[in-house]
Amino acid sequence: MSLPPHSAQLLTSEGLDQLLRALRRGGYRAVGPTVREGVIAYEDIDCVEDLPRGWTDEQSGGHYRLRRRDDDALFGYAVGPHSWKQFLHPPRQRLWRTRGGGDAVQIEREPPDGPPLALIGVRACELKAVAIQDTVLLGGAYGDPHYRARRADTFILAVNCTVAGGTCFCVSMDCGPNVATGFDLALTELAAAGPPAFVLQSATPAGRKVLEEISHRPATESEIAAARARVQHSAQHMGRQMPAQNLPQLLLRNLEHPRWSEVADRCLACGNCTMVCPTCFCTSVEDSSDLRGQQTSRTRRWDSCFTIDFTYLHGGSVRQSTRARYRQWLTHKLATWHQQFGSSGCVGCGRCITWCPVGIDITEEVSAIRASDPG
């Protein structure tokens, strides 16, 4: 993993503001963290003033609260309820429409989206999640053209985590807290009583190009050392730990473990974990027709392995019980994902723990199985 290199630059809060404006001038739609309705959400942002200045969050199982910090940090919090899949792999995607009837049916392709995206404040776990969705949605012979078009033009401003959240465990999953690859520019926020300042590294020509339009100076050795120390500090303060060794073997030899029934007793089968998970990608396809039978459309929408319809085949649903559905989710995420896509499907962001209304904790469930593993 790369911490800020010796060639890093120093960016002030004004410099960051210039950067956001330069991206917008360059035709990007900038989306990033902002405070909305008591959470840090990812929404359209214009300038540095839209960022959650002086905010942090308190997170545990089924619990999220915004808290004030005693400084003006712009990135002093962990990830919130949103993830970038909302923009890259949106909840609803119309695939095509038809008009007319009989022999006069015309198929209309869906036009491309609006302007290219600039994702602001992408964390290490999230970069890993985007890379995983790239593999899922673009790998193989039948890549998703809508996703491909969005990803091709996406600019990523990453942020190294200097604060670990209460449900974070990226270190266990080897996914953070410092960014490694897959970004154009990356920031590390320095501790300061005054205005925020950042050590900045660039990784791509697109990143270096936008730097030409904004003011910055080479970072000093002590600034770079301070930035590294802050990221290392967050690595040592993860809210959760996942016992991640040999997970596929552990889980697949415990498919009849009594813990699955125990967790099913608590699980609401509401699907929240899959909705907030930055790697969960499952969708269903819906066809609709109008009253006159002259227009139809096919739409892909987020779905979840926790719904009954999701595994509906001839004669009924494959996974009727909540036990079967929870087990499917967890074993896919942590075990069979390796076979299917060559990595774990979990990046340790902790969203599924925080946003589960009853606080089911994936690290706790795995620990319980490991603790009584006969294998």
Contact footprint for another protein (CB under 8 A): 36-39, 41, 62-65, 81-82, 86, 91-92, 265-272, 275-276, 286-293, 301-304, 306-309, 322, 354-355, 357-359
Q: Following DSSP, what letter does each residue of 94-139 receive, concatenated?
A: EEEEEES-GGG-EEEEPPP-SSPEEEEEE-HHHHHHHHHHHHHHHS
Q: CA torsion angle for 124, 129, 132, 137 (degrees, to 10)? A: -140
Nearer to another protein, 3 or 267 (CB): 267
Count other C-beta atoms under 10 Å from residue 160's C-beta: 27
Nearer to another protein, 193 or 291 (CB): 291
Nearer to another protein, 26 or 62 (CB): 62
Closest CA to 190 of 78, 79, 16, 73: 73
Q: How far is the CB of 272 from another protein (least distance, A)?
A: 5
Is the Cα dihedral 129, 164, 14, 69 positive or negative? positive
CA distance 288 to 33: 35
| Residue 70 burial (10 A CB sphere; 0-12, 13-18, 19+) | exposed
User: Residues near 296 by Cβ (< 8 Å), separated by ≥ 6?
Assistant: 97, 98, 287, 288, 289, 290
- Reported as type and span, the H/E element at residue 243 is none
Nearer to another protein, 201 or 322 (CB): 322
Q: How far is the CB of 280 from another protein (least distance, A)?
A: 11
Q: Is 140 within 8 Å of 147 (Cβ atoms)?
A: no
Q: How far is the CB of 358 from another protein (least distance, A)?
A: 5
Q: Is 150 within 8 Å of 55 (Cβ atoms)?
A: no
**Helix locations, the chain, DSSP H:** 13-25, 85-88, 124-138, 145-152, 205-211, 221-235, 247-252, 259-266, 272-276, 322-331, 337-341, 351-354, 362-371
Closest CA to 158 of 178, 174, 144: 178
Q: How far is the CB of 19 from another protein (least distance, A)?
A: 25
Q: How far is the CB of 101 from another protein (least distance, A)?
A: 11
Q: How far is the CB of 211 from another protein (least distance, A)?
A: 31
User: Residues near 325 by Cβ (< 8 Å), separated by ≥ 6?
Assistant: 267, 269, 305, 306, 319
Q: How far is the CB of 276 from another protein (least distance, A)?
A: 7
CA distance 89 to 186: 23
Nearer to another protein, 235 or 270 (CB): 270
Q: How far is the CB of 309 from another protein (least distance, A)?
A: 6
Nearer to another protein, 38 or 218 (CB): 38
Nearer to another protein, 273 or 366 (CB): 273
Nearer to another protein, 1 or 66 (CB): 66
Nearer to another protein, 230 or 259 (CB): 259
Q: How far is the CB of 356 from another protein (least distance, A)?
A: 8
Residue 82 DSSP class = -
Nearer to another protein, 12 or 295 (CB): 295
Q: How far is the CB of 92 from another protein (least distance, A)?
A: 7
